[in-house]
Structure 1
């Protein structure tokens, strides 16, 4: 797989199509998905296929996804970039609690370092901003961890354009944002514009829009997929990569899966080329134009 690279944070070259680990865990990102050996095989195959950006989080499992990354890939290759997240505490398969107190964020980062078996996390993302804690305090502790060598770069997850703009006035450590963005949901287009203006990577989560591609969207995808001999998921990824080439050079999709076959399918999408009529048809599907 040959993909253009992106310089994350100005010093970490990564391939444009990464891999997300959420699907290595069970329903609701809680507990194991299946056999541990299968998850390890998927991670190793992703790297064999040329993936250099692995995106995970401490609450996937919780803890399970990070442990799997270390089991499969440690010691890490020099070119491999591992990103993780902290700031959300899980107490059940449908229970998510935002936690942004500095002492808790510091403890979460230390726990991720242990599970990932590393001295420094390449990209540490604040999974959610805690509305109960001043933003300057949440970002401040991440800056402290960066100064201590525990974190190389800082990212934010699920923020508004206004929050991102404010955060950029408080710290220069932010190099990325991870927001929901896909063929049908482009509500984060304003955030993407801020990322473009400041040279920040944008990692779209839920990029395949699994389970919501119905009606007009499904018909349009089937039309393009039939012409190219591809699956719907491949066309969605190909559209994101085409968007990257024609609209936004900062996009870094990290689709996830727990299946080797689906992994191969996702990575093969990088070779698909949509023509102007394809992209025009797919661009028109979004409820909120970008």
Structure 2
């Protein structure tokens, strides 16, 4: 495993592990997970030198943090644990944003208990709350740093102005947002801003929710309750068009004798040493395949070919439905 820094100080493995598939928002969000295999996957990640683990209060909800807490018990000191707050979960399944200072403190204390740790290494606001000024939210997060409950602060899917205002309130170590070969709009303004402000960038869904692996060849490959059947880019009208990109990724992979997933992750790693993708996995086989991407070196010709196949805005369909799109880049 190789290592990088988020911000100026927080060292993490160059690839982290997104734990969401183990317990997402709703059963079977990305196919059903087996808890024994999920725990074995977390164990294997630690064996491979992965130090960066990403979870959230809303995953499960709560169960994902509990699972990760179980897995890391007795070996906490080696690891960087990131979790997120920012939702009102009092009226499930109706979920709204809540980044009030009171909820910031409540969520932190509850996450610490579920994870079984004394300090959260990286505490993200999961989605910007339009009803609470970011200065108030980050101010409350900063109080957690002062109290020793949190080490570093992060944002997720925040817009440029929000990032700037947050950074003036307290240093932000990382921004987490969707970024991959099929979702590159972040490059237009957000990614350069993070680089300028020395904020680490953590791409989630770096494999296009599994699409870029080439393992999903039709919608019939997904379980009936799989979230992706409602994903606009997986829809019947967009699926075949988006497979054209996968064909190019596979071609590059063939030249390197590696998997398509490894090419997609290697492409992200090549975008800058402040970029730390967190591919999600709930099985050891996919984990091991993804983590091997740190040793894949794409040539300039590879990068040019992928650039032409996956221009900004080139993917067919929006990345989310209307409701979820309304919660990003605020």
Q: 1:188 aligns with which of 167, 186, 189?
A: 186
Residue in 1 that maps onto 2:259: 231
**Aligned-residue RMSD, C-alpha:** 2.1
Q: 1:119 aligned to 2:121?
A: no
| 1:157-185 deviation digits (Å, cap 9, x = unpaired) | 0011221112112223x111001111121
Worse-matched range after superposition: 252-261 or 218-227: 218-227
Residues of 2 paired with 1:102 and 1:30: CA distance?
Answer: 32
Instruction: State how many pairs are aligned.
Output: 281
* TM-score between the two structures when normalised by the length of structure 1: 0.90
Q: Secondary structure at the match of 2:185?
A: coil
Q: Secondary structure at the match of 1:284?
A: helix
Whether the 8 Å CA contact 1:30–1:92 is kept in 2: the answer is: no
Q: Secondary structure at the match of 2:294?
A: helix
| 1:1-59 deviation digits (Å, cap 9, x = unpaired) | x31x2233433321211111001115646799433222111111001001011111111
Worse-matched range after superposition: 63-72 or 211-220: 211-220
Residue in 2 that maps onto 1:280: 304
Distance 1:29 1:236, change over 3 A: farther
Residues of 1 paired with 2:134 and 2:293: CA distance?
Answer: 38
Distance 1:164 1:30, change over 3 A: farther
* Correspondence 1:50-69 to 2 at 5 A: 50-69=49-68
Residue in 2 that maps onto 1:19: 17
Distance 1:43 1:166, change over 3 A: same
* Greater relative contact order (Cα < 8 A, sep 6+): 2
* Correspondence 1:47-196 to 2 at 5 A: 47-90=46-89, 95-172=94-171, 174-189=172-187, 190-196=189-195
Residue in 1 that maps onto 2:294: 270
Residues of 1 paired with 2:305 and 2:179: CA distance?
Answer: 18
Unaligned runs of 5+ in 2: 213-241, 314-330
Residues of 2 paired with 1:108 and 1:150: CA distance?
Answer: 11
